[in-house]
Structure 1
């Protein structure tokens, strides 16, 4: 029974794609479905077939937020048929990166489709990313509540990169979902540029000698240390969700929950 982990947030710019990248590092063989207006996960190979390990299938969303709201969500739902069909074809632990302005629409469709997906042997989980912005906290509460009855597990990653998140508000928003925290990182502009060029996947491939030629011994070492620490912190923040994704889901009618499947998350 394969599991699918949905990474969602209706508010943009809160680090959702970073969380997806961390999950992809933790579970490197997981296929990824990217539902976005702009293809962002460009460092991954493009999947040429369904369930291709480590590959990304990109589903372009063309409906604007205004069109979605004006149509009561129908503008987005009409574009999601291909995504729903792809979910029915899932045969391995899979990640779904849902773009801003699309999360609520997709979760609304999945509320109705989840029972049939369950009959097809597919279990859904949800990761919601929140930041200090009030809008992201409000949206997180709505998404978690919307998925409460049909997800096998729900997780929240509190991204402190943009500032501290009020713990009282966070506790009220997340309810019974599992919470992990990504602490704030003060990365220099040059370090951010290196990260943007290769994202998390590129951190392990960085060549110190090459960085020294571009910068200096001291700066190259600082860049490597900072990016390595950031990558590990992201992977630590997604660890509970990654472990859930690769665990063997219980089979209907069988008592108990297995300790775990044959495949485990990296660095778990």
Structure 2
């Protein structure tokens, strides 16, 4: 039974794409669907046909205000049709990286579509990424509640990138969902530049000798250690969700 995992949060900048990248590192040949106004997962191979394993298929969002008004609102209703069609066509583990301000719309549609997918032998799960701010916590609670009747599994990743999240609030928001944590990392500018260039999948390919020439032997060692630790921490944070994806 193919499984789909939605990575969601209405609030931007909480690390949804980082979690998607971690899942792609943890699950071999994972198909990725990206719903975003700007294509961010550019280090992946672009899907040439359908939901191609090991590649990313990009769905630009959202419908422009002009298009929505010109169509009497139909443009807004139909803008996720291609995504829904792609979900019905999955044949293996698939993750969907949902851009900010789109999660609630997609989950609303899936309230009707998820049971149909289930009948077709496709299960849908949800990962909600939270950070230490009221908006992200409130949105997380709403998304988890919206999916409680149809999501086959629900996960919460608490990303400490914006500070420590109050444990009692986090527990209340997560409820029965599986909760994991991604600790905050402070990367020096050079390490951040290296990470931005290749993202998580570029870390194992880093050449220490080349880095040493570009920086220094000591700094090259720090960069490698920091990025390796970061990559492993992300993969550990997504481990329960990744295992769910491949169980079937």
Shorter-chain TM-score range: over 0.9
Deviation at 1:77, TM superposition (A): 3.3
The C-alpha deviation readout for 1:24-81, integer Å capped at 9, x for no partner, is 000121111111110000000001012311111000012369x99xx9x975432000
4+ residue stretches of structure 1 with deviation over 6 A? none
Deviation at 1:216, TM superposition (A): 0.2
What residue is the counterpart of 2:241 in the other structure?
Answer: 241
What residue is the counterpart of 1:257 in the other structure?
Answer: none
What residue is the counterpart of 1:258 in the other structure?
Answer: none
TM-score (norm 1): 0.88
Q: 5 Å matches for 1:1-268?
A: 1-63=1-63, 76-248=76-248
Counterpart CA distance in 1 for 2:206 and 2:74 is 45
The C-alpha deviation readout for 1:196-254, integer Å capped at 9, x for no partner, is 11110111111101101100000000000000000000000000000000001xxxxxx
Structure 2 residues not aligned, in runs of 5+ = none
Contact map agreement 1:9 1:136 (CA 8 A) in 2: yes
Counterpart CA distance in 1 for 2:245 and 2:178 is 14
Provide closer, same or farther for how the CA distance between residues 74 and 247 of structure 1 changes in structure 2, counting only shifts above 3 A.
farther
Counterpart CA distance in 1 for 2:84 and 2:16 is 21
- Count of residues in Structure 1 that have an aligned counterpart in Structure 2: 244
Deviation at 1:161, TM superposition (A): 1.8
Contact map agreement 2:156 2:180 (CA 8 A) in 1: yes
Structure 1 residues not aligned, in runs of 5+ = 249-268
**SS at 2:45 equivalent:** coil
Contact map agreement 2:51 2:86 (CA 8 A) in 1: no
**SS at 2:126 equivalent:** strand
**SS at 1:204 equivalent:** helix
Deviation at 1:186, TM superposition (A): 1.3
Provide closer, same or farther for how the CA distance between residues 114 and 241 of structure 1 changes in structure 2, counting only shifts above 3 A.
same
Backbone CA RMSD of aligned residues = 1.7
Counterpart CA distance in 2 for 1:114 and 1:183 is 32
What residue is the counterpart of 1:254 in the other structure?
Answer: none
**SS at 2:46 equivalent:** coil
Counterpart CA distance in 2 for 1:158 and 1:115 is 28
Counterpart CA distance in 2 for 1:194 and 1:77 is 40
